[in-house]
Structure 1
Amino acid sequence: MRNRRLIWAVAPLLAAFGMADAAAAKSCSSVWIPTWASSQMLPTGENLLPKGVLGGATLRQVVRTSVAGQRLRVRLSNVASPDPLGISGVTVAQSADPASSAIKGETLRRVLFDGRREVMIPAGAEYLSDPVALAPAALESLVVSIHHPEEPAAQTSHPGSRATSYVLPGDHLNDPAMPGAKTFDHWFSLASVEAETCAPAGAIVALGDSITDGRGATTNGNDRWTDRLAARLQGEPRLRHLAVLNQGIGGNRLLKDGLGPNALARLDRDVLAQPGARYLIVLEGINDIGTLTREAPVSEAAHAELVSRMIGAYRQIVQRAHARGIKVIGATILPFGSNTYYHPDARNEADRQAVNRWIRQPGNFDAFVDLDAVMRDPARPDRLRAEYDVGDGLHPSPAGYRAMADAIPLKLFQ
């Protein structure tokens, strides 16, 4: 009898909690934000797939989410091509192993575009899919498979995926794995995966070069500094609504095109157009400083001009981001004094110090993160700490990327 009274006493409480949950769900204002993104560009050299590889084949790519959602949708890209891109089918599934082509078969979903399996993406455009009934979890690997009926006229790619992709002739959209597939560490025509979630969701966009892209990180290991930052945010209940979008390109520069368009040229598409972008972390400029004198020394006036123009580019980024209500966080440029590709001298180091002084100056950025202070060797501050150096004097190791992410105060996003 006592147990029966207890049940009757608890039942109204459970009902009340249930009504509260239902009310909370009903009051949820649904928004779409990217849970993963990559900067798309025209690949060249060794980053370009041989002609004929994609035509009539299935391309399977693995990406890592940063926030959870109730549904997802996929954004495909044809921004680098002068001709339309035909796609005959796309599927998405949870990965069974991020280092393989295997998927969890029960999670496989067909991706539709305007209710159809096939889509024709106009030249220079991107195309967003219909919502897919697959709920992405935070920090999980998803597999997106694309079937190309014909060889693309020009490839659109993100060369530095740090993740293995798979291509196999024929339609393998529904296959549980793709044994015998050719492999490469690039993404193609995949701009973002968006998650439907509750407001107030938002995104932190990281704009940078190979140090943001993850050169030196573990292939399929998801240990770039942006990955670690996303994991830290998921460890804070009040910040789990913030996605982290890596828009780094290896070799990228603030002022001139190199590998990919310069930072100012790609700012609109890669940052300002990202749904829900609230914060921008800018870590870019080391390639501008390094390339200035890589071939030959230059005058003192040329050094001063570079510093002035880099600061001008930062100002442009801040002003344009502010116009969209985005908070901009500057990151100081890391030391690279022992790098043999750029072989910097004391004058290059003076340029770096001058730029970093400006970044640290209050009022230039909304806030700054002093990654230089974290990563430099105390005994030789123009060089990376040995334990954070992948071995080339320029790019951090996985331990270095972790130190970079851990140095970013989460209070910046509160």
Structure 2
Amino acid sequence: MRTGLAHFLLLLATCVAWPAQAASCAGQWVAAWTSAQMAPTGDNMLDPIKLADSSLRQIIRPSIAGNRLRVRLSNLAGTKPLWINGASIARALRPDAATVDPKSFIPLRFDGRADVVIPAGADYLSDPVALPVTPFDDLAVSIHFAQAPAEQTSHPGSRATSWLLKGDHLADPGMAGADAIEHWFSLAALETETCGPTGVIVALGDSITDGRGATTNGNDRWTDNLARRLQADPKRRHLAVVNQGIGGNRLLDDGLGPNALSRLDRDVLAQPGVRYLILLEGINDIGTLTRDATASDAEHARLVSRIIGAYRQIIARARAKGIKVIGATILPFQGNSYYHPDARNEADRQAVNRWISEPGNFDGVIDFDRIMRDPARPDHLLPRYDVGDALHPSPAGYRAMAEAVPLDLFR
């Protein structure tokens, strides 16, 4: 009898103590999904007339679980304040449609208010909401623009369909009649709160990281496939993968979007929970040098030196924040009709890849070049991994890239 009483009292003490331990858990916010924001141009811009007093529903997919969420909206490219009339989040029924579970709608608040005015050049976090998610849940973030932004902020290469409809449709489960838009606008990040050990891997890159050649709404970029590998590994499923690729991006000069050095602080160092950086940049710098005219040997040597210098800058600044920096070798691109590279461009690529691969320069190396090149023609992509332009991988190529990442880089 005494033994039974003692056992009961021990169970009671355990039940009383557990909530106290849970309450003492200091939640950590981490980036679960991101998109690199920039000023869109040309066909990537929305018609301001269509955007004014319209709702835009954007489907995103976090790579890590969490019990509470918050959304980060952006007016990065704006020179005037951006008035958002309201926003909501809900569970999407599928990644390629605007339909959501009507029971899951949660209005987003900003400092307790439904609307928010985001200063020029700034981002703004929503108040946290209780919405438990598991990795790869499809979520719909809807934004009601009170008026068209003076300057739009966007991520053109979404590889995902968004939905635009006039009026306030923040709680509309179907958005019937909405226009399909192949871009994201003013949506910079989704963050989750977790109590256990966690961390974020940021992939900083160009269109190969952004997913040119991937399947629209298929979530089959190399970063998506890497995230799935991590979630299948019990030792590493606490790690999120976020994609900060921009099509046409360069290390040294602005192209489609600001250069990688200029966006390092915002797109990498400022991401909550970042522990690792995978850097895959440089192919557009090498290709652009001779796209319109030939270059001298001295100009080629100078370019290689400057690319390596940019790597050193990124490594030093990331390491100063305690971030492990992993270099990825540049893929072959002979035969591409946009850059029409020649033997000297190939020599530049090889010189850069040698530096990336030398021990001690990066904290780790992913040899994408080795896995993606054609053994018969090492300066070309393997045909089965080529989407057709001799530059961008196919979905099969992106799977191969993800499989080539040594998971022991992430301890």
TM class, shorter-length: over 0.9
Within 1, Cα distance between the matches of 2:210 and 2:17? 43
The percentage of aligned residue pairs carrying the same residue is 66
Structure 1 position 160 matched with structure 2 position 157? yes
What's the secondary structure of 2:112's corresponding residue?
A: coil
Task: Give the total of aligned pairs.
Answer: 408
Q: Which residue number in structure 1 is paired with residue 270 of structure 2?
A: 273
- Partner Cα distance (1:351, 1:39) in 2: 28
Residue identity matched to 2:94: D
Q: Give, in angstroms, the shift of residue 51 of structure 1.
A: 2.2
Instruction: Specify the alignment match of 1:131 in structure 2.
Output: 128
- TM-score scaled by length of structure 1: 0.95
Would you say 1:225 and 2:245 are equivalent positions?
A: no
The range that moved more, 74-83 or 132-141, is 132-141
Alpha-carbon separation, structure 1, partners of 2:77 and 2:109: 23
- Tell me the distance in 1 between the aligned counterparts of 2:284 and 2:83: 36
TM-superposition CA deviations, 1:342-393 (whole Å, max 9, x none):
1111110000000000000011101111000000000000011111111111
Q: Which residue in the other structure is 1:172 paired with?
A: 169
Aligned pair 1:143/2:140, yes or no? yes
**SS of structure 2 residue aligned to 1:343:** coil
Cα drift, residue 26 of structure 1? 4.0
Query: Secondary structure in 2 aligned to 1:319?
Result: helix
Aligned-partner Cα distance in 1 for 2:402–2:20:
37
Alpha-carbon distance in structure 1 between the residues aligned to 2:246 and 2:215 = 17
CA pair 359-82 structure 1, distance change in 2 beyond 3 A: same
User: Hey, what's the Cα distance between the residues in 2 that align with 1:288 and 1:46?
Assistant: 24
Report whether the alignment pairs 1:85 with 2:70: no
User: Distance between the aligned counterparts of 1:34 and 1:257, measured in 2?
Assistant: 26
Partner of 1:5 in structure 2?
none
Letter in 2 for 1:208: G
Partner in structure 1 of residue 345 of structure 2: 348
Question: Quick check: 1:206–1:282 contact (8 Å CA) kept in 2?
Answer: yes
CA shift, 1:413, in A, is 0.8
What one-letter code is carried by the residue in structure 1 that aligns with 2:278? I
Residue 292 in structure 1 maps to residue 289 in structure 2: yes
Aligned partners of 1:279 and 1:329 also within 8 Å:
yes
Q: Summarize the alignment of residues 303-314 of structure 1 with structure 2, pairs less than 5 Å apart.
A: 303-314=300-311
SS of corresponding position for 1:106: helix
Q: Which residue of 2 aligns with 1:103?
A: 100
RMSD: 1.9
Candidates 372, 375, 397, aligned match of 1:378:
375
SS at match of 2:49: coil
- What does residue 31 of structure 2 align with? 34
**CA–CA separation in structure 2 for the residues paired with 1:260 and 1:404:** 24
| SS of match in other structure, 1:382 | strand
8 Å Cα contact 1:29-1:199 kept in structure 2? no
Q: Secondary structure at the match of 2:88?
A: strand
Show CA shifts across 1:183-216 (max 9, x none): 1110000000100111422110000000000000
How much has 1:52 moved relative to structure 2? 1.2
C-alpha displacement of 1:238:
2.2
Distance 1:29 1:294, change over 3 A: same
Determine helix, strand or coil for the equivalent of 1:290: helix
**Equivalent of 1:211 in 208, 211, 215:** 208
* Structure 2 stretches lacking a partner, 5+ long: none
Q: CA deviation at 1:135?
A: 1.4
1:152/1:310 CA distance change after superposition, 3 Å? same
Shift of 1:106: 1.2
Cα distance in structure 1, aligned partners of 2:377 and 2:17 = 59
In 1, distance between residues paired with 2:12 and 2:333?
62
CA shift at 1:12, angstroms? 9.4
Is 1:34–1:243's contact at 8 Å kept on the other side of the alignment?
Answer: yes
SS at match of 1:228: helix
Aligned letter for 2:247? G
Partner of 1:316: 313
Given candidates 350, 356, 360, the residue that maps to 1:359 is 356
Q: Which runs of 5+ in 1 are unaligned?
A: 1-7
Which residues of 2 match residues 385-396 of structure 1 at below 5 A?
A: 385-396=382-393
What is aligned with 1:336? Answer: 333
Distance (Å, rounded) in 1 between the aligned partners of 2:202 and 2:21 = 29
How far the C-alpha of 1:19 sits from its partner, in A, is 7.1
Mapped partners of 2:22, 2:327: distance in 1: 37
How has the CA–CA distance of structure 1 residues 21 and 141 changed in structure 2, closer, same or farther, with 3 Å as cutoff? Answer: farther
Q: Which runs of 4+ in 1 moved over 4 A?
A: 10-24
**TM-score when normalising by structure 2:** 0.96
Distance 2:9 2:348 in 1: 69
AA paired with 1:196? E
Taking a change above 3 Å as real, the CA distance of residues 14 and 343 of structure 1, as seen in their structure-2 partners, is farther
